[in-house]
Structure 1
Amino acid sequence: MQEEIKYFIDKIVKDEASQCATVQGWAFNTKTKEPVELYLLGREAVGVQFKRDFRIDVNNKYALPDDAKVGFIIEFDKNTYGEKLKLKLTDDTNIRIVPINLKKNYDYLKKPNLFNAKRLAGVTTRTVGYLSRNGLKNTIRKIKFELKYKNQENYDFWIDVHEDYDRKKVLAEISGFSYKPKVSIVMPVYNVEEQWLRACVDSVLNQYYENWELCIADDNSTDAHIKPLLEEFKMLDSRIKVVYREENGHISEASNSALAIATGEFVGLLDNDDTLAEFALYEVVKLLNEHPEADLIYSDEDKLSEDNKRSQPFFKTDWAPDILLATNYICHFGVYRKTIIDEIGGFRKGYEGAQDYDLVLRFTEKTNQIFHIQKILYHWRMISNSTAVNPDSKGYAFEAGLKSLEDALDRRGIKGMVSHGAFPGVYNIEYEIVNAGLVSVIIPTRDNAADLKACIDSIYEKTIYENFEIIVADNGSEKEDTFKLFEYYTRKYPQQFKVVRIDIPFNFSKINNLAVKESKGEYLLFLNNDITVITKGWMKRMVSYAQQEHVGAVGAKLYYPDNTIQHAGVLLGMGGVAGHGHVGFPRGDYGYFGKLVTTNNYTSVTAACMMVKREDFDRVNGFEEKLTVAFNDVDFCLKLYEAGKFNVWLHDVELYHYESKSRGAEDTYSKYKRFNSEIKYMKDHWLNYIKNDPYYNRNLTRVDGNYAICVDIVGYVKGKTIEDEENEI
């Protein structure tokens, strides 16, 4: 049995010079979901300050109220510095005693992860292809990740927690809906096995929401069991409608035949061997009651084995136009307003296998009222010859997908070349540059000449885009080799390189803002001095996206020197405010559902390498100078997003990042205090996004940026409890 008070100590930070220490953690009552009281046990709390804090990561993991301040920060002065103390956590009926050791620094998130070899057998079967692509060292990293995060085990637990619907309560809620539109489920059928078709139709019959019709078009099936089975379904329920095609026209024409008998206000798409969650239409109509303006609604999805075991949940982002141009991430379950489907002419013949991709590309050109339900409403059956099992089984589908994208570019008047991506079903677009404006590359620095030289040399070596200038924002350099380097580049590139001296206390935001005033570019490219470029043509690629009207900031894929991911998009809510996604994943890894090898939208990208149009930079007043070190890029990108721009991360612009060598690590007490003030600023201004990042599904962990399934802040698994010694710091 679990304790009623759950708690955790994240961090202890000491400052020997000032004899101060800070303890950070969280605690709440598991039954009431309320914060608990904090006391110092057995002594006067002289010189001790208790502060409450929002912990978005904890609130999300444990489904706590949004306004629950379960986090705490305790500051100790010299009266208690260096002691071993006991913290009392209490509510009306419960007490927990927590040992606190102020003699040492401690950071839970930096604790080493142990390799659990006992679970090796369960993941080795998935490593063969990975090994051939990425080598032994990276494969070992991947296995360690799989073993640590136990995604299948966690998904089973997630299902138990999140899909525990009370049918009576749901039906009562439905009866109270003021808006009960008919939803037409459109399903083409062709020679499907009886067991899969029965399971599919049963999943519709079992829907909590009853105002639906199932529109089936048989595409002239040759299997003898199909027609009697469909006739049986028609007799079973009057809401099931069947039309029999006289000739086989393949999936697009069959889908149009089903559409022709649909009378609903909305149309849901269902394959004849897949199933819907019984609460699928309830969730869709619930959203429509909250947002009757919605034209397209899509949900998360998973895979369903032949023995009905669920796996591989795909927890998606909210509406992301640039992701849709890389892959059909919307896919299942999609519900569309029928008037718009009729307007665009339904499904198009010649796009079989990608007919739904072609449909959604055309549909989203007609509306921006696109909503996402962060629940698994659709189960994609894994059977032989299914793309759910083997994407190569329907190669024609991916050619049709490429053709759909080429058509989309033509319709939109965009010049570009579409090509197949890293694996079937993902695509790359090389946009033609129509506005080759000047790019101002802005590099803040303070000494560190060796890294700066490597950075600048790599720019000149790897850049094929000719129209750029480099502005080095020198923030207090003192070393002779730095000044010699400045002189060298000034002489070598007199029309393209200059140094701007900015003698102020370090403030990343202000340094960059001042440097922008000294620049002339139509595009601004912010670059850390400890970056080296890998990709030839990197700047041209970034301009090709930055030039687009809907695009705000453009970010890049950054690696640590050991070829593991340092930056692949920023995830809000991680660690309380924000953190990088896929950190530590090996180079060559596809990432979560291909995210590391496709262009993606994120709420934010790092300013270690970030391009933006100058007019957009000015529109949001640049970087916030109250954020001197941390989160200034996140704040900046959120301002762009609020202004209607989509921030983009490019998988095929690669650079190395040696990460803040000039400034140093966040490891002193004064830096910790400053960092906390920046956290407060972000929560004061962007709490809604920190709670709910549109581009990072709430069902994924906020502890790490690894896209593991969210089950518990410290990895709670059903049937196990956290050992007390984990918390005895």
Structure 2
Amino acid sequence: MDQNPQDQNRPADVAAPDSVGGMAKRLMNPAHLKDLASRSVQTLQEEGAEQLWRDVTFRVGLAFHHDGWRHRADIPLRRTLRAQRAENLQGPCISVVVPVYNTPMPFFKQMVQSVLRQTYRNWQLVLMDASDEDHPQPGELARSLAAKDDRILYDKIDNGGIAANTTAGFEAATGEAVALLDHDDLLYPNALYECAKALNDGADFVYSDEIVLSADLKKLGGYHFKPDFAPDYLRGCNYITHLAVFTRSLLDSVGAAEYSEFDGAQDHDLFLRLTERAKKIVHIKKVLYVWRGHAGSTAAGMEAKPYAVEAGVRAVDAQLARLGLRGKAMPAPDAPGAFQVRYELNGRPLVSVLIPNKDHTDDLDRCLRSLYKNAGYDNFEVLVIENNSTDPATFDYYEKILADPSMPRCKVVHYHGAFNFSAINNFGARYASGEYLLLLNNDIEILSHDFVRELLSYAQRADVGAVGAKLYYPDDTIQHAGVLMGINGSAGHSHKSYPRKAVGDLYRLVTTQDYMAVTGACLMTRACLYRQMGGLDEKDFAVAYNDVDYCLKLWKRGLLNVYTPRAEAYHYESKSRGLDTTGENARRYEREKAAFYNKYHQWIDNYDPYYNPHFNNLYENFGLK
């Protein structure tokens, strides 16, 4: 209840906010400034200037804008909460399962209160207490609350580990849906209301965005603004985490049994199993959950629980086995809690590599030699598609490579006509004998040792349409790591200009990602799909957007477009043809951009499902609005 009418538009608090003066005073504290400087240097070294700017502006905004993060994090206005309570939404009973173990009393009280304050009334709080005899207080409070509110179920159990304790909660729960809540975290007051609405609309698995706060709930530790469901990303890390709600029938279909072998990664294993069978997965693009970061909490870093990494590998391997995907998970380099999968190949299909070229034989030579050196797979052919070269040395070079025994199955075909990237690749594809096509710019230098093999291992999957690589500028910053729709009214490259060693937002640079599109500078696809889609669009997208258009046609058919960080290369972007910044090239680019918007404005205007509306759409850096 509001204390006075003028507060009705204020967000509901999770923690009492400091005054503006107090925040400014804390900001200028020498210890705070020292900590800020240290973290800024680390961010600059590991993630680059764009990420540093993102962090600094956000944190300074918190200091000087009263209650700023609460606005950012979607806490609803008090009048909204009152309206939700008055609505008395009818829906399934949601059993909130909480394994309790030696929980500090202040944390336990706040957790319980966050459930009691829910605007949705049809819930059950299931407290499975495995605390030792030195920590009786949570149990004493829980028994007292259960005696007053029959929606609270408390049971004292033997400690069998987090997986077994959670399973005990599943068995005790009687609701038509189940939610997971850690014993030291909090729900926003509208959390179950939002989830119940999604369940009423037919969802059987629901998850939301979240933030990480310090133990005292006053300091922002991070934010997890997630994409819509992305199966490859979920194999790469448990990006769903909190809040997750799922129907009892879905849980029963996968078996609510004890999986102690996945202790530490039990939620990751559970979400992998649930999403395999879910019929409708809904991502609520609002923060509904506060993950409390403190010593020993996974929110403070996976280094606190190294056994969880080993369990995560086993969980991913188990899913691969269930799905019949031959592969092996491994920890992602320099990214604790993230994983990569090396898939096995099915046979030895021929791959046709299409490389358009005009002069610039030094670039082409570097591209070819790096390809033959680092393909990691020998059953491929190369078709250099000659287009309007004027330097006689270019044709001498063609004769040289055709006779070079170190470049087997390399041939040159001649496309006569004005530069049209789409038409050139379509022309080359007609000469290709391979089951798979690899579109490759001549200004690519391949770096990873099994480049073609890695791309092929994904392109062979029946659920994949196109596969893209991790491309760097020559200064070792990111040029391409997947394509985001909506950037500057069209599309842009994910994490563009981040340092090569950066892990990206929620490990998205070092884990395989599902995106709406990948760049045609390096794109592998099945030849039969290429023919079915009519190749690249020669009419509306002669030079720009043809790759994104091709990928979107695949995506609309239900296929995944995948970015893999294990295929790495330099891209000396547009070096041989030049950029579209002046004259007729610029006018042609604007025409193609307009055509692209007219065709795909639905995703340009309403946000890419693999991005998040909390992020701005002016830049590719995952910066906040």
Q: TM-score normalised to the size of structure 1?
A: 0.77
Which range moved further: 550-559 or 234-243?
234-243
User: Once the 2 structures are TM-superposed, how far is the Cα of residue 145 of structure 1 from its aligned partner?
Assistant: 3.3
Go from structure 1 to structure 2 and tell me whether the alpha carbon gap of 1:681 and 1:148 turns closer, same or farther (over 3 Å shift): farther
**1:473 aligned onto 2:388:** no
Of 61, 64, 74, which aligns to 1:153?
A: 61
Give the equivalent residue in structure 2 for 1:24. none
Residues of 2 paired with 1:540 and 1:489: CA distance?
23
Give the equivalent residue in structure 2 for 1:698. 613
Go from structure 1 to structure 2 and tell me whether the alpha carbon gap of 1:556 and 1:381 turns closer, same or farther (over 3 Å shift): same
Go from structure 1 to structure 2 and tell me whether the alpha carbon gap of 1:271 and 1:571 turns closer, same or farther (over 3 Å shift): same
> In structure 1, the residue corresponding to 2:240 is in which secondary structure?
coil
Which range moved further: 612-621 or 651-660?
612-621
Go from structure 1 to structure 2 and tell me whether the alpha carbon gap of 1:160 and 1:130 turns closer, same or farther (over 3 Å shift): closer
User: Once the 2 structures are TM-superposed, how far is the Cα of residue 421 of structure 1 from its aligned partner?
Assistant: 1.3
Please list, as runs of the form range in 1=range in 2, the aligned pairs for 1:81-160 lying within 5 A after superposition.
123-126=36-39, 141=49, 144-146=52-54, 149-150=57-58, 153=61, 157=68, 159-160=70-71
User: Once the 2 structures are TM-superposed, how far is the Cα of residue 387 of structure 1 from its aligned partner?
Assistant: 1.3
**1:516 aligned onto 2:429:** yes
Deviations 1:669-720 (A, max 9, x none): 433322222122122211111122011111111111111111xxxxxxxxxx
**1:312 aligned onto 2:225:** no
Q: Which amino acid aligns with 2:215?
A: E
User: Once the 2 structures are TM-superposed, how far is the Cα of residue 171 of structure 1 from its aligned partner?
Assistant: 5.0
Q: Which amino acid aligns with 2:191?
A: A
CA contact (8 A) 1:174 1:282 kept: no
Give the equivalent residue in structure 1 for 2:167. 256
Of 418, 430, 435, which aligns to 2:347?
A: 435
**1:405 aligned onto 2:313:** no
Of 684, 698, 701, which aligns to 2:598?
A: 684
User: Once the 2 structures are TM-superposed, how far is the Cα of residue 161 of structure 1 from its aligned partner?
Assistant: 5.6
Give the equivalent residue in structure 2 for 1:351. 262
Deviations 1:526-558 (A, max 9, x none): 011111001111110111111011111111111
Q: TM-score normalised to the size of structure 2?
A: 0.89
Give the equivalent residue in structure 2 for 1:675. 589
Q: Which amino acid aligns with 2:315?
A: S
Give the equivalent residue in structure 1 for 2:248. 338
CA contact (8 A) 2:204 2:280 kept: yes
Give the equivalent residue in structure 1 for 2:126. 215
Q: Which amino acid aligns with 1:298?
A: Y
Give the equivalent residue in structure 1 for 2:15. none
> Greater helix share, 1 or 2?
2
Please list, as runs of the form range in 1=range in 2, the aligned pairs for 1:449-460 lying within 5 A after superposition.
449-460=361-372
**1:644 aligned onto 2:558:** yes
CA contact (8 A) 2:239 2:506 kept: no
CA contact (8 A) 2:329 2:341 kept: yes
Q: Which amino acid aligns with 1:307?
A: D
Which range moved further: 321-330 or 675-684?
675-684
Residues of 2 paired with 1:170 and 1:406: CA distance?
43
Residues of 1 paired with 2:161 and 2:59: CA distance?
37
Give the equivalent residue in structure 2 for 1:329. 239
Give the equivalent residue in structure 2 for 1:607. 520
Superposed CA RMSD in Å reads 2.2
Residues of 2 paired with 1:186 and 1:639: CA distance?
42
Q: Which amino acid aligns with 2:536?
A: F
Q: Which amino acid aligns with 2:205?
A: L
Of 414, 427, 449, which aligns to 1:536?
A: 449
Give the equivalent residue in structure 1 for 2:336. 424
Give the equivalent residue in structure 2 for 1:196. 107
User: Once the 2 structures are TM-superposed, how far is the Cα of residue 139 of structure 1 from its aligned partner?
Assistant: 7.0
Residues of 1 paired with 2:74 and 2:401: CA distance?
62
Please list, as runs of the form range in 1=range in 2, the aligned pairs for 1:478-489 lying within 5 A after superposition.
478-489=390-401
Which range moved further: 343-352 or 433-442?
343-352
Q: Which amino acid aligns with 1:700?
A: F
Give the equivalent residue in structure 1 for 2:152. 240
Residues of 2 paired with 1:140 and 1:521: CA distance?
40
Number of residue pairs matched by the alignment: 584
User: Once the 2 structures are TM-superposed, how far is the Cα of residue 382 of structure 1 from its aligned partner?
Assistant: 0.9
CA contact (8 A) 2:89 2:193 kept: no
Go from structure 1 to structure 2 and tell me whether the alpha carbon gap of 1:327 and 1:184 turns closer, same or farther (over 3 Å shift): same
Give the equivalent residue in structure 2 for 1:708. 623
CA contact (8 A) 2:98 2:126 kept: yes
Give the equivalent residue in structure 1 for 2:414. 501
Residues of 1 paired with 2:382 and 2:59: CA distance?
45
Please list, as runs of the form range in 1=range in 2, the aligned pairs for 1:614-625 lying within 5 A after superposition.
614-625=527-538
Q: Which amino acid aligns with 1:286?
A: K
Go from structure 1 to structure 2 and tell me whether the alpha carbon gap of 1:603 and 1:322 turns closer, same or farther (over 3 Å shift): same
User: Once the 2 structures are TM-superposed, how far is the Cα of residue 393 of structure 1 from its aligned partner?
Assistant: 1.4
User: Once the 2 structures are TM-superposed, how far is the Cα of residue 236 of structure 1 from its aligned partner?
Assistant: 4.0
> In structure 1, the residue corresponding to 2:381 is in which secondary structure?
strand
**1:396 aligned onto 2:307:** yes
CA contact (8 A) 2:221 2:293 kept: no
Deviations 1:474-509 (A, max 9, x none): 111111111111111112258511111111111111
Residues of 2 paired with 1:151 and 1:615: CA distance?
50
CA contact (8 A) 1:462 1:535 kept: yes
> In structure 2, the residue corresponding to 1:364 is in which secondary structure?
helix
Give the equivalent residue in structure 1 for 2:188. 277
Structure 1: gaps (5+ residues): 1-118, 711-729
Residues of 2 paired with 1:143 and 1:613: CA distance?
36
> In structure 2, the residue corresponding to 1:336 is in which secondary structure?
strand
Give the equivalent residue in structure 2 for 1:28. none
User: Once the 2 structures are TM-superposed, how far is the Cα of residue 130 of structure 1 from its aligned partner?
Assistant: 6.0
CA contact (8 A) 1:551 1:647 kept: yes
User: Once the 2 structures are TM-superposed, how far is the Cα of residue 472 of structure 1 from its aligned partner?
Assistant: 1.0
Q: Which amino acid aligns with 2:233?
A: I
Of 454, 458, 461, which aligns to 1:548?
A: 461
Q: Which amino acid aligns with 2:302?
A: P
Residues of 1 paired with 2:72 and 2:325: CA distance?
45
Deviations 1:330-375 (A, max 9, x none): 1111011111212222142221111111111111221242111111
Residues of 2 paired with 1:707 and 1:143: CA distance?
8
Residues of 2 paired with 1:162 and 1:381: CA distance?
15
Deviations 1:220-270 (A, max 9, x none): 53212122111122134221111221x221111211211122121111100
CA contact (8 A) 1:208 1:282 kept: yes
Give the equivalent residue in structure 1 for 2:326. 415
Of 299, 304, 308, which aligns to 2:208?
A: 299
Residues of 2 paired with 1:594 and 1:164: CA distance?
26
**1:562 aligned onto 2:475:** yes
> In structure 1, the residue corresponding to 2:242 is in which secondary structure?
coil
> In structure 1, the residue corresponding to 2:305 is in which secondary structure?
helix
Structure 2: gaps (5+ residues): 1-31
Residues of 1 paired with 2:230 and 2:251: CA distance?
20
User: Once the 2 structures are TM-superposed, how far is the Cα of residue 126 of structure 1 from its aligned partner?
Assistant: 2.2
Go from structure 1 to structure 2 and tell me whether the alpha carbon gap of 1:646 and 1:278 turns closer, same or farther (over 3 Å shift): same
Residues of 1 paired with 2:386 and 2:33: CA distance?
51
Go from structure 1 to structure 2 and tell me whether the alpha carbon gap of 1:612 and 1:255 turns closer, same or farther (over 3 Å shift): same
Q: Which amino acid aligns with 1:697?
A: N
